[in-house]
Structure 1
Amino acid sequence: MNLIPGWLLLLFISAGVWSVPIDRNGGDQEPKQEAQEENMDTGLYYDRYLREVIEVLETDPHFREKLQTANTEDIKNGRLSKELDLVSHHVRTRLDELKRQEVSRLRMLLKAKLDSSNTQSLQMDHTSLLKQFEHLDPHNQNTFEAKDLELLISTATKDLENYDAERHEEFKRYEMLKEHERREYLKGLDQEKREKEEKRMQELKEKHRQHPKVNAPGSVAQLQEVWEETDGLDPQEFNAKTFFKLHDTNEDGVLDEQELEALFTKELEKVYDPKDEEDDMMEMEEERLRMREHVMKNVDLNKDRLVSLEEFLKSTEKKEFSNPKEWETLDAKPLYTEEELQRFEAELRDKEEELKRKAENLRQEQELLRERGKALEVQKREYQQAVLEMSQRQKEQQAAGNGQPPAGPNGELQFQPQTQKPEEINAPAEAKNNLPAEPPQNLPSHT
């Protein structure tokens, strides 16, 4: 995607999201270009919406022409947004569709957030909730207007300006976490092992410090080294204008942040090797960011986060270009104080306690659910037994109505012993008195 510098500055440049060394050895360039575009992420939560709006606006010839002649101030102050009224109908239709999709996405995010907070029963006012997102107009949720473009530009500009500071703070916390984990690890060892491990760690730290001298970023020594080792040119024939054109890889007339960071690869390789245990690649990326900020501070005169040819040539005329201060790498001094580390560790303990409380609550809920499950299982068995008994009684009643003996559990006939009636039991003597007399036995005859 070919965008002009101002648009790249405000809407698409990520502060060091990706950096690659420049390959001057030829070869197939298409895969590399595709990989770069895939990795080009501003780091903003509305990055996809931002990218799609840019792509659609690029397709309009009128807007693209205005964009090419606009300067940074025209973009920042919103004058470029007024040109939106002159774009073609199909572009406006596509922008309207993109905005509706973004509004729908934000609504889903808000609903998920509310659900996770157990407040899904609240009536959601989407208009008021969408005010939390500054990159679009919440009062108009169906069409993309000039105000939407103005808000998108201003919000992206502000967010990208804060991006570097956030990265520095994130790296600082990363370093404090490493130190915290190191101390906790050593606490778990006995004295002999702890002393041995501390000695090993100190040796690794010293080994990391024993690296070649790093040239100051943007100095003549640093640029000449790139000219010789990366570009393969004679260092005695160094020419600043030619160097600029060689490293303006997209030929847009400026060096953007990614093109600048690519120039520091040789310096970083002096300090960091991914194969060495003592070298941390997170520290390497922080070093790269510091180098880029150093160059921008001294070269970017209009503070538009881009280096023009004029700015670059002026920087070569400064005293610092030939006689810079010695560059201090990250290992030269600590990034935090002991007090900051103690506050950080206190935060970790508080978060750990909170996680323990949540885990205990979940355990109790799980136990409660288990007990309820057992009670339901007992009720289920009682219900099944009642149904079985009821079915058995119904079968017995049916069998009695048909004059058949009741059936057994397996359907076999069940015969019961015949019982005597009460009156038969109570009158045995009377029955005996009414019996006929026994016939006389044959008496012996007399002759």
Structure 2
Amino acid sequence: STHPKGLRRGRDTGLHYDRYLREVIDFLEKDQHFREKLHNTDMEDIKQGKLAKELDFVSHHVRTKLDELKRQEVNRLRTLIKAKQDLEGGNDIAVDHQALLKQFEHLNHMNPHTFEVEDLDRLIKSATKDLENYDKERHEDFKKYEMMKEHDRQEHLKTLDEGERKKEEEHYEEMRKKHADHPKVNHPGSQNQLKEVWEEADGLDPDDFDPKTFFNLHDTNGDGFFDEQELEALFTKELEKIYDPTNEEDDMVEMEEERLRMREHVMNEVDSNKDRLVSMDEFLVATKKKEFLEPDSWETLEQNQAYTDEEMKEFEEHLAQQEQDLSQRADDLQKQRDELQRQQEQLNAQKIELQQVRSEAALLTKARTTLCVFRPSLGKSLHDQDRDNKLNMRGICKSVAVQCDQLCNRLLSTLTTKVSFQKSSSTA
């Protein structure tokens, strides 16, 4: 195959720009000139960018559509990066600008409007490189999954008393042995393995096994190649010997890792031009090799621990550091919360004092108004009433005046206290 690393049809590559990649390839293949060049160009020439130069000769309609696809992809990436920056910046986490820029490696973002030769060249090279690393990243993810599973198991054991811990360990060993007790697994891609598929999945006589017929039966889209999905489908019968989703001892995440290992192994053995596809010729050549007829035994996952003791130690240290960082972050947040609570209490106290000042000021105003109204009538009363009444009225007047003085002094004291409190708060 001459397609860039097996990018034929609509199979999801798992890359973050998969949709863009698919749409570009689909539209380029609609151009007759480009399609012919694609099928007649050697894989190494494609990697070196020779195919990308043919973009200048595709039809105007295709170029216009590619321009539109690129603009959509640039907008998608900008939205994605903006969201990441908002999220990370809002959490006081340093933004990894290198990781963000890597999102744009598959296109020329300096020209966000038109799809040029450089864009196709970048897309092919990025997809080739990223797909080569994709399986490696999946293996790393699986390793972390297994280490986390073991970490959680050990942490759970720490919460148990001696009797419960012993019982739990015995159950764990029982499940481990039960999982390992399964029928023999054939070497992936060997004659025995393919014959079982021929017999059990295809319902054919194993004595009539024919590699060419087998290939045509399992080339499900009829394009003359086994892609990764078609290859992985061949291992289902083998995986069913080891894994059953209804069994407690069987982990379906491990099953997918085993499937990946099998596919990688066959690809390494059979895919001679390393394009992530197995052609009919490559398949037939492989069936004539000694390894096809007399393969080595296949070691399953339970015979190959996913991580070393040193890797587990480093993983535990990393988790401990993460826990410490989270604890420190929690402490900082609690301190911020306490400080905000203290400030809120101060604000509430200031509000109460302000309300008191306003109430006392209102009383003072009312008292003064009463006194001003009362004094003129008081003067007339002193001439018209007897001595006792005069003394009573003077007493009332004096009492009101004293109350006014007390209110004034209290108001002055409150205002002085408030100013002092504000100064001390500002200093703090």
Query: Residue 213 of structure 2 is aligned with which of 242, 245, 265?
Result: 242
Q: Do the aligned partners of 1:60 and 1:91 also contact (CA within 8 Å) in 2?
A: yes
Q: Do the aligned partners of 1:10 and 1:157 also contact (CA within 8 Å) in 2?
A: no
> CA separation in 2, counterparts of 1:162 and 1:238?
36
1:301-380 equivalences under 5 Å are: 301-378=272-349
- Do structure 1's residue 150 and structure 2's residue 146 form an aligned pair? no
Aligned to 2:396: none
Aligned to 1:133: 104
Q: Name the CA shift for 1:303/1:118 in 2 (closer, same or farther; >3 Å).
A: closer
Q: Secondary structure at the match of 1:302?
A: coil
> CA separation in 2, counterparts of 1:186 and 1:11?
47
1:188-227 equivalences under 5 Å are: 188-227=159-198
Structure 1, unpaired ranges of 5+: 14-36, 121-125, 406-414, 432-447
Q: Do the aligned partners of 2:71 and 2:112 also contact (CA within 8 Å) in 1?
A: yes
Aligned to 1:9: 5
> CA separation in 2, counterparts of 1:88 and 1:419?
109
Q: Secondary structure at the match of 1:236?
A: helix
Deviations 1:331-384 (A, max 9, x none): 113222222211111111001111111222222223333444444455556667
> CA separation in 2, counterparts of 1:300 and 1:416?
114
- TM-score calculated relative to the size of structure 1: 0.76
Q: Name the CA shift for 1:310/1:416 in 2 (closer, same or farther; >3 Å).
A: farther
- Do structure 1's residue 280 and structure 2's residue 235 form an aligned pair? no
Q: Secondary structure at the match of 2:297?
A: coil
Query: Residue 293 of structure 1 is aligned with which of 264, 269, 275?
Result: 264
Deviations 1:54-93 (A, max 9, x none): 2332333332333233332332222221121122223222
Q: Name the CA shift for 1:12/1:167 in 2 (closer, same or farther; >3 Å).
A: farther
> CA separation in 2, counterparts of 1:361 and 1:170?
32
> CA separation in 2, counterparts of 1:306 and 1:190?
54
User: Match of 2:290, as an amino acid?
Assistant: K
- TM-score calculated relative to the size of structure 2: 0.79
Q: Name the CA shift for 1:380/1:49 in 2 (closer, same or farther; >3 Å).
A: farther
User: Match of 2:20, as an amino acid?
Assistant: Y
User: Displacement, 1:179?
Assistant: 1.2
User: Match of 1:263, as an amino acid?
Assistant: L
1:14-25 equivalences under 5 Å are: none
Q: CA RMSD in A?
A: 3.5
> CA separation in 2, counterparts of 1:393 and 1:313?
108
User: Displacement, 1:235?
Assistant: 0.7
Aligned to 1:266: 237
Q: Do the aligned partners of 2:2 and 2:40 also contact (CA within 8 Å) in 1?
A: no
Q: Do the aligned partners of 1:11 and 1:157 also contact (CA within 8 Å) in 2?
A: no
1:19-98 equivalences under 5 Å are: 40-98=11-69
Aligned to 2:411: none
Aligned to 1:26: none
Aligned to 1:21: none
> CA separation in 2, counterparts of 1:313 and 1:292?
17
Q: Do the aligned partners of 1:176 and 1:341 also contact (CA within 8 Å) in 2?
A: yes
1:165-176 equivalences under 5 Å are: 165-176=136-147
More helix by share: 2
> CA separation in 2, counterparts of 1:416 and 1:207?
107
Q: Secondary structure at the match of 2:143?
A: helix
Q: Do the aligned partners of 2:6 and 2:227 also contact (CA within 8 Å) in 1?
A: no
> CA separation in 2, counterparts of 1:90 and 1:366?
60
User: Match of 1:76, as an amino acid?
Assistant: K
Equivalent residues, number: 380
Q: Do the aligned partners of 1:209 and 1:331 also contact (CA within 8 Å) in 2?
A: yes
> CA separation in 2, counterparts of 1:161 and 1:43?
12
User: Match of 1:94, as an amino acid?
Assistant: K
Aligned to 1:159: 130
1:341-420 equivalences under 5 Å are: 341-378=312-349, 419=378
> CA separation in 2, counterparts of 1:86 and 1:92?
10
Q: Do the aligned partners of 2:143 and 2:307 also contact (CA within 8 Å) in 1?
A: yes
User: Match of 2:300, as an amino acid?
Assistant: T
> CA separation in 2, counterparts of 1:319 and 1:268?
24
Q: Secondary structure at the match of 1:79?
A: coil
Q: Do the aligned partners of 1:10 and 1:153 also contact (CA within 8 Å) in 2?
A: no
User: Match of 1:253, as an amino acid?
Assistant: G
User: Match of 2:153, as an amino acid?
Assistant: R
Q: Do the aligned partners of 2:4 and 2:46 also contact (CA within 8 Å) in 1?
A: no
User: Match of 1:7, as an amino acid?
Assistant: H
Q: Do the aligned partners of 1:96 and 1:143 also contact (CA within 8 Å) in 2?
A: yes
Q: Name the CA shift for 1:193/1:152 in 2 (closer, same or farther; >3 Å).
A: same
User: Match of 2:5, as an amino acid?
Assistant: L
User: Displacement, 1:180?
Assistant: 1.3
User: Displacement, 1:266?
Assistant: 0.0
